[in-house]
Amino acid sequence: MREPGGRQHVVKCPNAANRCDRRVARLIEREWEFLQAGASPGVVEAQAFERSERGALLVTEYLPNGDLVVLAGSHPRHWVAAMRSVAGTLARLHERGIVHRDVKPRNVLFDANERATLVDFASAARCGERPPAGGTTTAYRAPGSVRGAVAAPVEDEVAYAAVLYELLAGEPPFAPRRSTAIAPAYAPLCDERLVFGEESGICDLVGLVNAALEEGAKEPRPSLAVFQRALTRISPGLALSLQDVGRRDAE
């Protein structure tokens, strides 16, 4: 949606078939509530909410520079700052008792200044609360790692490590094979799976990702703060233009 003055917004509303579905309207209203409760730098700005006999409508800011998916498989210097920011955003949400529950590259968008912003709180829940149906995407959830009927920060922590895996290896760690619905066993990250040269800071990060995602991973898994410190040891390069990502590793 574009205002007369040129400012753009994103509008989330039920489709025609679900317009009168109270459950769908409540999910949109929940998202509005969680966006307000979690409002901070790094969280998409919720601008308006309306509920009527025609259903619910949520308006958020427009983020024009794409998502994190386009950086998968690129050198960490291109996304290290973004992932440090996402870790900080998730930590602030957890401090407020909020679990996002669907952390994945497609839910990290970049604003006009190319700052990483977390979106899509439709599956969010309070810590200890029974969450709505659905939520964490299978490709970013370690099989057997997140059990229980209530929301917990570990869901976001495991998904965050899975996003790092995809950024490093170019593919998500638990995506089902095309020929079957069964998710493959975890294949640990190693030098052969990386598309860039070996660097000490990157090797440390790879070790943390494996520690978080391998089957039977010891508790507690590496925390968001531990990942932030590891990312700090990797120096970002020159700012990457997301408009020209196709040339990101041409050198």
Q: Quick one: average pLDDT of 58-64?
A: 94
Question: What is the residue-averaged pLDDT of the chain?
Answer: 82
The catalytically annotated residue of 21, 67, 102, 111 is 102
pLDDT bracket for residue 57 (50, 70, 90): confident
**Cα angle, residue 214 at apex, residues 208 and 218 outer, rounded to 5°:** 75
pLDDT at 246: 46
- The single-letter DSSP state of residue 11 is E
Cis ω on the peptide bond leading into residue 143 (within 30° of 0)?
no
In 3D space, the residue among 168, 175, 171, 172 whose CA is nearest the CA of residue 190 turns out to be 168
| 102 classed as catalytic | yes
Please, what is the end-to-end C-alpha distance for the chain in angstroms?
A: 39
pLDDT at 25: 83
Q: What's the CA gap between 117 and 98, in Å, rounded?
A: 16
Q: Could you tell me the fold of the domain covering 68-236? A: Transferase(Phosphotransferase); domain 1 (1.10.510)
pLDDT at 95: 97
For the chain, give every domain's residue range. Answer: 9-61, 68-236
Within the chain, strands assigned E span: 9-12, 46-52, 55-61, 98-99, 108-110, 116-118, 125-126
